[in-house]
Structure 1
């Protein structure tokens, strides 16, 4: 393992052993990750015996789904599913690539429109997908009301309502989006808000609900993994670009010499 990768791997194992880590999430768009970044992450998660889920770029992101097959991920997450038709498009794209092979399938409910269409989405998805995730950050933004934030009571009440419907229809229910210590404290004050939740996730780390809510240090250790992941990506990127940066200095020097030569030629012409 290269440099910080060793610490990243150790944190993976620590989360698995001490916090019952369910999975690590990855995505191309929001993180700006390259395919090679995810190859390294897949290598580490596989070595640690940890599942890797890939959030694709859209319900029909066939290129991402094909990449997920190459990576050997354990699950796919479709973002911004707003209608049963959107879910149908995701499942069609998934089957186009995976055929009859089955991996875990999850959808993100993260807009006002999705909440309004939730009953139809659940009806169509029953028996076809495994998990529904409520993304609180985009969901709160989608109401276009500056008073509605991820930790607003209004959003927590939506968490409760969506969770009850999800569990009643046989889905696991995950909550993510701007999870903070304040989020955890508000959940603990209102058990009804979290009773239907299966898992709670940060951008990259999925932990069981009770671990995230009740075990000391859970959120901190999850965020530590994310920090190490970013630092590891930077370390690798710096190595890859180092030779180019050295050439950049040489090019700058050559440019200066070229300009100086042109000035001298102009002087002699005059």
Structure 2
């Protein structure tokens, strides 16, 4: 491990011990995580004794599900599942890739991230109940579907939507996770939703056990999660910079050789 990865590991261990860290998260969807990046994240998470969540590319992203199974992930999140039919396709896809024993060890969830999904969330809750599939309320995309910016996520109106989704998750007895613009400013809203049901909440890279909201550690935990994400991005940048530069000396030599050959031929 390099120095950045060692600090990342220290943050995860501290977060797990004191600040409700439950898992780290990668995305094959919007984040476009590459396999080599994911393997580094996986190693760091496992050394910290944390779970790993993966957002796949869609409700029927079979290749992503296969790779997630090979990597031994703990949570699978499917984005843009906007209709009951799309949710049935997701359920069928994950059942195709993971056998019954494996499904018992993995938490499968789908994103409630648009107003279109929200309008059908009761019907989708019934499917979720039968399939044992949880929900992730993605607040930033939800705000965007309403024509709002990310500043909307901590408003009273967003809280109303979140509490409704929590009621559906509670009725269906499935996990509820909240993400999207989560910061210390979100703590009051998260606590309000937890009065109904909230199992976990997440920043871009860290998933928290919602029980941390019952104490005073949540804000500090979010600060650590932000530091972890920054280190992750810096480490990723350095990694690809080194790859981009690894052949520079040979390229320069070959260019000079080619130029000399062309000059001699002239």
TM-score (norm 1): 0.86
1:174 equivalent in alignment to 2:186:
no
SS in 1 for 2:17: helix
- Match in the other structure for 1:55: 55
Contact 2:128 2:134 in 1 (8 A): no
**Pairing partner for 2:162 from 146, 149, 159:** 159
Contact 1:148 1:155 in 2 (8 A): no
- Match in the other structure for 1:4: 4
After TM superposition, give the deviation of residue 193 of structure 1 in Å. Answer: 4.1
SS in 1 for 2:135: strand
After TM superposition, give the deviation of residue 257 of structure 1 in Å. Answer: 5.8
Seen in structure 2, the aligned counterparts of structure 1 residues 244 and 208 have a Cα distance that, compared at 3 Å, is same
Seen in structure 2, the aligned counterparts of structure 1 residues 113 and 258 have a Cα distance that, compared at 3 Å, is farther
- Structure 1: gaps of 5 or more residues: 266-270
Contact 2:8 2:231 in 1 (8 A): yes
After TM superposition, give the deviation of residue 34 of structure 1 in Å. Answer: 0.9
Contact 1:141 1:148 in 2 (8 A): no
After TM superposition, give the deviation of residue 121 of structure 1 in Å. Answer: 0.6
After TM superposition, give the deviation of residue 43 of structure 1 in Å. Answer: 1.6
Equivalent runs, 1:118-197 vs 2, <5 Å: 118-145=121-148, 149-184=152-187, 186-187=188-189, 192-195=192-195, 196-197=197-198
1:31 equivalent in alignment to 2:3:
no
Contact 1:205 1:222 in 2 (8 A): yes
TM-score (norm 2): 0.88
1:209 equivalent in alignment to 2:172:
no
- Match in the other structure for 1:77: 77
Q: What is the aligned residue count?
A: 260
- Match in the other structure for 1:268: none
